[in-house]
Structure 1
């Protein structure tokens, strides 16, 4: 498991107002749970959030608001509409029995529904842990994404599509990740280099898995830096130069 129920995401460096946010039901081949946040001053860029293994729980509902504070209209998508319906993803939710049934093609289909809901403008995915691996994997999907971002992700979710990766990637890695070793990350970036995949990475030395949490005061600088890197990666000038 990644972020706890009491975890809360750190604030972006510049905080605007949130015009609206709340739960949402989207439809792909099934109805699935989502959470939507709208900035009062949109920057024209959109985010689809891919949660950790627990789905759209409190951390990610809050994170949609954080991205909206930074100017991004944002939708967090849940993985479990096909097997668990639209129920709450609280501590009682048995994600362990549902996770093995999540297929990458289904994630891509649900992300496409979120992209369509968000409408025009560059769309990026941002994922965490399991969701980071799924986010990076979407670089190979034909979804027209402007870029894919992942925190402390799982390279094993991407290995079979490395030769098809195309959308630019941002890898934000924990130096002391208990879920993935540094050797695994090095092997992953080596395979990206061999395939000529466009990516940027930063390793936060000593940081633990799930460091992007405002309750970890000692990782405040890492959180601030991660925000700066996301904002830089999604800048229109950077997107245009990579097109």
Structure 2
């Protein structure tokens, strides 16, 4: 309950800690992430953005995490100054990476390196929507430096030729019962896949919550589902994160 109360207060007043942009590179490309550091850090989180790129939403979540004692770094998977502004542009940017999983992984590994340079070490990787699908891509890769994974209303489909046989770090799944993409059938297949692979996980489903239920100010936002998933996520961080 203390996490829920803290979250409610922060949503009302805004996080007291504000981060800053961070430039980094992957190959010859430039990217702009965002870092928010806790005053007395007890762990780390790397956030992966939704399909509209790194926006104020991820920055706000990073600030909220720093306020709770977690160093946070929001990666940029599109490139500096690449910020789509329409559904068509959002789809085009995500399809580039969905169709090139090797590049998706390389960009995430570059983001993890950039995060480590800012003191965001041994993190939990968490993502929203598209970012949730990317977090699971990293889980299937299972880099040694990642302590766990979380996906909020994220894509759950596993690409052909991939599986969770190497996924040993725990996964949290936060899913809306009224989400139609992915729907509950896809959710059930995903959980079955984790069971068969022996991957440690916990899944929560929120009745009536649609896709993107955590997005502040949108018509899909559901306060109860957002607060309950955030509270559980903070518990997960306390259980999983070994420290900065």
Query: TM-score, normalised on structure 1?
Result: 0.81
SS at the partner of 2:37? Answer: strand
- Please state how far the C-alpha of 1:149 moved relative to its aligned partner: 0.5
Counterpart in the other structure of 2:194: 192
- 1:17 and 2:16 aligned: yes
Counterpart in the other structure of 2:96: 101
Counterpart in the other structure of 2:123: 123
Is the Cα contact below 8 Å between 2:72 and 2:120 reproduced in 1?
no
Query: TM-score, normalised on structure 2?
Result: 0.81
- 1:74 and 2:72 aligned: yes
Is the Cα contact below 8 Å between 1:34 and 1:75 reproduced in 2?
yes
Distance 1:179 1:217 in 2: 13
> Structure 1 residues 114, 150: closer, same or farther in 2, change over 3 A?
farther
Distance 1:44 1:238 in 2: 11
Q: Work out which of the residue numbers 81, 85, 93 in structure 2 matches 1:91.
A: 85
For residues 129-156 of structure 1, the C-alpha deviation after alignment (integer angstroms, 9 at most, x for no partner) is: 1110111222232242111000111112
Q: Work out which of the residue numbers 55, 58, 70 in structure 1 matches 2:56.
A: 58
Distance 1:176 1:100 in 2: 24
> Structure 1 residues 163, 34: closer, same or farther in 2, change over 3 A?
same
> Structure 1 residues 173, 79: closer, same or farther in 2, change over 3 A?
same
Is the Cα contact below 8 Å between 1:45 and 1:72 reproduced in 2?
yes
For residues 80-121 of structure 1, the C-alpha deviation after alignment (integer angstroms, 9 at most, x for no partner) is: 12xxxx115262693333322223322332332233224365
- Please state how far the C-alpha of 1:223 moved relative to its aligned partner: 1.6
- Please state how far the C-alpha of 1:43 moved relative to its aligned partner: 3.1
> 215-224 or 150-159: which moved more?
215-224
- 1:178 and 2:176 aligned: no
SS at the partner of 2:114? Answer: helix
> Structure 1 residues 91, 205: closer, same or farther in 2, change over 3 A?
same
Which blocks of at least 5 consecutive residues in structure 1 are unaligned? 1-10
